[in-house]
Amino acid sequence: EAGVAQSPRYKIIEKRQSVAFWCNPISGHATLYWYQQILGQGPKLLIQFQNNGVVDDSQLPKDRFSAERLKGVDSTLKIQPAKLEDSAVYLCASSLDGFRHYFGPGTRLTVT
């Protein structure tokens, strides 16, 4: 079974630039999550999709972050404009039952 795929693995941008991350979940998994993990901290939920609908985006900074899930499969997370404090690892996870999460390798973002 193929795991959760994410790209790019690493990205360095300057503040005020924009960036996009891509995630392909495990086939058949209806629930998709984006988590932000700042160095030395645990992952924090940004947004949760059920198929192509948003279930929870209460922690998403909507003035700069946006996300979509195309046709209930792939998802993109965008940051525009980026701030220094957005430097983190962005983890995508998927779940078959909304319970156990399967995480991708993450995208490490550095904002300079």
Which lies closer to another protein via its Cβ, residue 17 or residue 57? Answer: 57
Supply the minimum distance, in Å, between the C-beta of residue 112 and another protein: 20
Nearer to another protein, 17 or 50 (CB): 50
Angle at 11 between CA 84 and CA 17, to 5 degrees: 50
Compare residues 78 and 101 and give the one whose CB is closer to another protein.
Answer: 101
State both tokens at 27: 């086939």
- Closest by Cα among 89, 78, 109 to 42: 89
* Chain residues that interact with another protein, rule: CB under 8 A: 4, 31, 33, 40-45, 48, 50, 55-56, 91, 93, 95, 98-106, 108
Distances (CA, A) of 44 to 14, 34, 39: 23, 9, 12
